[in-house]
Homo-oligomer: A and B are copies of this chain.
Amino acid sequence: MSQFDNVSVVKKANVYFDGKCVSHSIVLADGSKKSVGVILPSSLTFNTGAPEIMEVIAGECRVKLAGESEAKTYKAGESFTVPGDSSFDIEVTSTLHYVCHFG
């Protein structure tokens, strides 16, 4: 599925790390919250509040979750899960298009 249907989209984006990460928040009909976003090639550390699942739509990244010793590579069609109140290091090697699923 290349798109979400019947959702609400917040017009103002979320801009992180001087624009290296830009996302738009969406709310599905069942009330669940997600964001659709892009991370430009860079090495960044994200902190999580709520747990989240990062689904890669296009591009490629290497991700090391807090407490893990080794980074893993994720490509289109793959996902990784981040616990709440945690963090992950991400190296984006090819512009990353993602959907972030919360909760």
Contact = CB atoms under 8 A, between A and B. Distances in A.
Contacts of A12: 2, 57-58, 97
Contacts of A47: none
Contacts of A2: 10-12
Given A2-B11, A22-B38, 11 more contacts: A1-B11, A3-B8, A3-B9, A3-B10, A5-B8, A6-B6, A7-B8, A9-B24, A9-B26, A11-B99, A18-B40
29 contacts: A1-B11, A2-B11, A2-B12, A3-B8, A3-B10, A4-B8, A7-B7, A7-B8, A7-B9, A9-B24, A9-B36, A11-B36, A11-B97, A12-B57, A12-B58, A12-B97, A13-B36, A13-B37, A13-B97, A15-B95, A18-B40, A19-B19, A19-B20, A19-B40, A19-B95, A22-B22, A22-B38, A24-B24, A24-B36
